[in-house]
């Protein structure tokens, strides 16, 4: 019968105690701890390179491959809305189909195939548009409309609470515009209104 290594036993106890302490801390801290864990998980997935995949919104051509090429069932690429750039347009080109019948929220008028964009009246003639990322599939139809005819406030970003950070991202490999870039894990998102100099 082999004797147990005391050093390994101390390490196992330390790991156990650390794990229990983290779980207890999560129960006490709630949301703040969840954010910290998400950051730690992102760091872990980034690996030794300490970089993660992201989409350069100025290179993106809204080809639709983000919705179909991701290894996940529902793509980790999601539409985000940069409110600083938004014109709060009544007839938003990212919300309404080009052939819309009327300017109301009927499904036949909406461009998004899954109803992930919500429209809320602010004051004449302004409306606020928000993205329900849980519904968004990353098809980029709204991004295309907003980029072609609007201010470009809608654009795609890889959401790292969903992304597996594959060594070679399957969307990046299929992207015809080479719009996928590596970002430092400490600053994984591109904020479009900050400009190109921040990439």
What is the residue-level pLDDT of the chain in tens, covering all 199 positions? 445 555 444 444 444 444 444 444 433 334 444 444 455 555 555 555 689 999 999 999 999 999 999 999 999 999 999 999 999 988 899 999 988 888 888 888 899 999 999 999 999 989 999 999 999 999 999 999 999 999 999 999 999 999 999 989 999 999 999 999 999 999 999 999 998 766 6
- Residue 96's domain comprises 50-198
148 and 131 fall within a common domain: yes
What does each C-alpha distance from 91 to 150, 154, 182 come to in angstroms? 10, 14, 35
Residue 100: predicted pLDDT: 84
Q: What CA–CA distance (Å, rounded) separates 199 from 195?
A: 8
Residue 90: predicted pLDDT: 82
1 and 15 fall within a common domain: yes
Residue 195: predicted pLDDT: 86
94 and 1 fall within a common domain: no
> In this structure, what DSSP letter does residue 139 have?
-
**Centroid of chain to Cα 72:** 13
Token pair 């330390």: residue: 14
112 and 30 fall within a common domain: no
81 and 34 fall within a common domain: no
pLDDT per residue over 167-195, tens digit each? 899 999 999 999 999 999 999 999 999 98
42 and 107 fall within a common domain: no
pTM of the model: 0.74
Torsion of Cα atoms, 30 then 34 then 37 then 38, to 10°: 180
10 and 83 fall within a common domain: no
The total domain count for the chain is: 2
32 and 106 fall within a common domain: no
Q: Coil, helix or strand for 113? A: coil
């Amino acid at each position: 019968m082999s004797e147990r290594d005391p050093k390994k036993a101390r390490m196992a106890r330390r790991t156990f105690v650390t794990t229990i302490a983290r779980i207890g801390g999560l129960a006490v801290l709630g949301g703040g701890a969840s954010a910290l864990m998400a950051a730690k998980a992102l760091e872990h997935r980034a690996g030794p390179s300490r970089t993660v995949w992201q989409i350069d919104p100025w290179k993106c051509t809204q080809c639709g491959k983000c919705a179909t090429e991701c290894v996940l069932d529902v793509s980790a690429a999601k539409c985000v809305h940069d409110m600083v750039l938004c014109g709060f347009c009544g007839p938003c080109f990212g919300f309404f189909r080009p052939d819309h019948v009327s300017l109301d929220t009927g499904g036949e008028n909406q461009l998004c195939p899954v109803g992930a964009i919500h429209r809320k009246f602010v004051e004449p003639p302004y409306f606020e548009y928000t993205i329900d990322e849980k519904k968004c599939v990353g098809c980029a139809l709204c991004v295309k409309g907003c980029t072609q005819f609007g201010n470009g406030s809608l654009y795609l970003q890889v959401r790292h609470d969903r992304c597996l950070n594959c060594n070679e991202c399957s969307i990046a490999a299929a992207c015809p515009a080479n719009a996928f870039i590596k970002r430092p894990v400490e600053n994984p998102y591109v904020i479009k209104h900050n400009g190109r100099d921040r990439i």
